[in-house]
Structure 1
């Protein structure tokens, strides 16, 4: 099926799907040579179909819609038409370019054109690439990377005792190749078909007998930024990235609330602040000159990577196999221990679950606040820091 019309977003979005196994081709009435191919699965791909001087017709794939916009496709078509008029073969040039493209260059494009604009976790993508992918793949041509190459990377990370991390690295490599295909930069994904390691839900949280040495190690931490960051992470159950980028303007001391504008679930969240959390924040606010609660020296202005400080705390406490994200699980677990319902826990931790969304929507913050405060008091009591019902004041460490 072929039809010519003026390519617009409204027209393209409303195109019908062809029968299974079929493909429809449409031509742009504004730009000679620009076509759109629509598959039965809904994939829409821009391409240029031109006869090269002295040769047979060539089809040059431009990219998938909507990753490639209509205007981008039109500009690319005009560039190709000009090249053909000068006696060049863009299809051959593109094939040659593909064979020479390095994975490091492809990842750079992926980061700038896909990860940064669309993923809040793009910094994690960059970190994974630097730590695990750049050395084995960065200088390899795409044509040199096959399933065996990627499987070795996955296997090596697994052997170091990090099977889950190996799966995440594999997923990132697959995502890069998948994006390259959609952008018309490559034709296949060599990461497909590699068996991933089995994963089980993590249930680690700080146990009762670990709390005293954990809080003692916190008290001995030389960096007040790291110490208070860990405390706020534990007392709020908020995600690492949200705590790192916490701003003073988002904290209401009168209502004891913290508003997180952007969350993993793409919905704002109101976090209730226990008296202990308010005490920590008041102490930090006294001498703060930054817009961020936990300032950093990097370009973003706030704390980015608390891992080294976290490792110091665990080493002093003699606690193993505990991650920063487990602080979030710790609050939820202690809420459950002190009788909170799953709906209350889900509301306080901003879990997004289709089956309980309606329940969450009807909850106000009072029962959530009561649950968080009760769980906090239970943790501090187990740590031997307060008697039941008391409020602990976290005094700033005197570093003079």
Structure 2
């Protein structure tokens, strides 16, 4: 064998390799990692392979690791080391590879998981399907289950953050990659509880919690833009209800008239729709009631915010919100920040963490006992104080000088 075929693999060196003659194959060997080689075909396809002499079976054994450059050199080296350990421990890696070809793929496992676990028990199963189609189907869907290891999952998890967003600029966030990793781990845990979960040793990216909420001058501009004739009525009402209830987007979008009591001035979010799984009562302030009473007079829909789509209700108005935010000169403000704004203004006007938690429907073991005894009166009073402070920003745009202690 020519020593020209043996060298330390680098991206520069591999990219310089020319394909062999038609119907021929060329092989190159990494001098850094025992058993790692690169197969190059006449059409230019490069595939990392592991090949070593198996003393137990008295023959050379070969296993394909993945194509270059989809698999990095470092990933291929890690996989080669894993295969070396198997051979050293007496595993027949060629037989294992054959069994791998006839077992389930991740696509098959995911489909079964949807039927057995997701659809019967998760309200967000449609979001799981969307996430799977975006981040799993193409890179992982056809892979056999034995193929998965911490090394390949770690590489996939990292690669998600290099993918360009479908809308806007930039790449997929680390938080989104973490949600994908969590979904994969859940599938393995629930469908293959008797096997070690290959996601277990893969670390999530560190995430910073977001604390953005609307400041007084921003609220003034938002209110002005909301009452501009360019703003559709349904968007204006949706934004104000979001701001003055602090409820989650999904709950407001799917708000039904049979959940609302105009007499007792409350909105009851059923446990099946509540994120924490228990029914939640939300106080409805006068500003919100005015909107609901007006909308009630002009609709025949079950929903407070009806829509033309298959759900029958309004869907998240991303484009409309982007246009509104631009007209209001709001930067780095998301729809979810409206919910955070209620909690933040409650805090600034003197509310305790317990009151804010009750308002926003947060649930923790420590707070559960307190919430069970807490009626809506102090919550309503705190929300009214926060809303009045927000509305004051229309007159005093710069800052609110004093809050109640």
2:153 equivalent among 119, 139, 150: 150
| 1:234–1:331 contact (8 Å) kept in structure 2 | yes
CA distance in structure 1 between the partners assigned to 2:309 and 2:247 by the alignment: 22
Partner of 1:91: none
Match of residue 249 from structure 2: 240
Contact 1:99 1:142 in 2 (8 A): no
Residue 179 of structure 1 pairs with residue 190 of structure 2:
yes
Q: Contact 1:145–1:190 (CA<8 Å) still a contact in 2?
A: yes
1:296 Cα offset (Å): 2.7
C-alpha deviation, 1:356, in angstroms: 3.0
In structure 1, how many angstroms separate the alpha carbons of the residues matched to 2:396 and 2:291? 15
Shift of 1:272: 0.4
2:364 — aligned with what? 353
Q: Deviations over 1:207-238 (max 9, x none)?
A: 22211222233334544333322221111011
Normalising by structure 2, we get a TM-score of 0.65
CA distance 1:218–1:162, change in 2 (3 Å):
farther
User: Which one of the candidate residues 275, 292, 298 is aligned to 2:286?
Assistant: 275
Match of 1:226 among 224, 227, 235: 235
- Provide the residue aligned with 1:207 in structure 2: 215
Task: Tell me which residue corresponds to 1:90.
Answer: none
Unaligned runs of 5+ in 1: 1-94, 387-400
CA displacement at 1:246 relative to structure 2: 0.7
Q: Aligned with 1:136: secondary structure?
A: helix
Residues matched between the structures, number: 290
CA RMSD of aligned residues (A): 2.7
2:76 corresponds to: none
Select the residue among 308, 317, 325 that pairs with 2:328. Answer: 317
Cα gap change, 1:109 to 1:225, in 2 (>3 Å)? farther
TM-superposition CA deviations, 1:330-359 (whole Å, max 9, x none): 101101111112222222222213323333
Deviations 1:10-58 (A, max 9, x none): xxxxxxxxxxxxxxxxxxxxxxxxxxxxxxxxxxxxxxxxxxxxxxxxx
Say which SS state the counterpart of residue 307 (structure 2) adopts: coil
Q: Which moved more, 1:319-328 or 1:107-116?
A: 319-328
CA gap 1:152/1:384 in 2 versus in 1, 3 angstroms: farther
Match of 2:201 among 193, 202, 224: 193
Gaps of at least 5 residues in structure 2 are 1-97, 163-170, 398-405
Q: 8 Å contact 2:222–2:325 — kept in the other structure?
A: yes
Cα deviation for residue 287 of structure 1 reads 1.5
Confirm or deny: 8 A CA contact 2:255 2:305 kept in the other structure.
yes
Mapped partners of 1:98, 1:223: distance in 2: 55
- Cα displacement (A) at 1:136: 2.2
Deviation of the 1:132 alpha carbon: 2.5
Tell me which of 268, 272, 276 is aligned to 1:259: 268
Change (3 A) 1:312 1:143: farther
Query: How big is the shift at 1:191?
Result: 2.4
Structure 2 vs 1, CA of residues 219 and 156 (structure 1 numbering), >3 Å: closer, same or farther?
A: farther
TM-score, normalization by structure 1: 0.66
Contact conserved, 1:99 with 1:143, CA < 8 A, in 2? no
- Residue of structure 1 in register with 2:135 after alignment: 132
The aligned counterpart of 1:53 is: none
Say whether the 8 Å CA contact 2:100–2:146 is kept in structure 1.
no
Q: 1:43-92, CA deviations, whole angstroms, 9 ceiling, x for partnerless residues?
A: xxxxxxxxxxxxxxxxxxxxxxxxxxxxxxxxxxxxxxxxxxxxxxxxxx
Residue pairs, 1:1-400, within 5 angstroms = 99-159=102-162, 160=171, 162-182=173-193, 187-220=195-228, 222-262=231-271, 263-384=274-395
Q: Which runs of 4+ in 1 moved over 6 A?
A: none
What is the CA–CA distance in structure 2 between the aligned matches of 1:192 and 1:201, rounded to whole Å?
Answer: 23
Q: The residue matched to 1:294 in structure 2 has which SS?
A: coil
Q: Give the number of the structure whose alpha-carbon radius of gyration is greater.
A: 2
Residues 181 and 322 (structure 1), Cα distance of their counterparts in 2 relative to 1, 3 Å cut:
same
Q: Secondary structure at the match of 2:221?
A: helix
- The answer on whether the counterparts of 1:173 and 1:191 sit within 8 Å (CA) in structure 2 is yes
CA distance in 1, matches of 2:226, 2:107: 40
Distance verdict in 2 for CA 1:298–1:104, change over 3 Å: farther
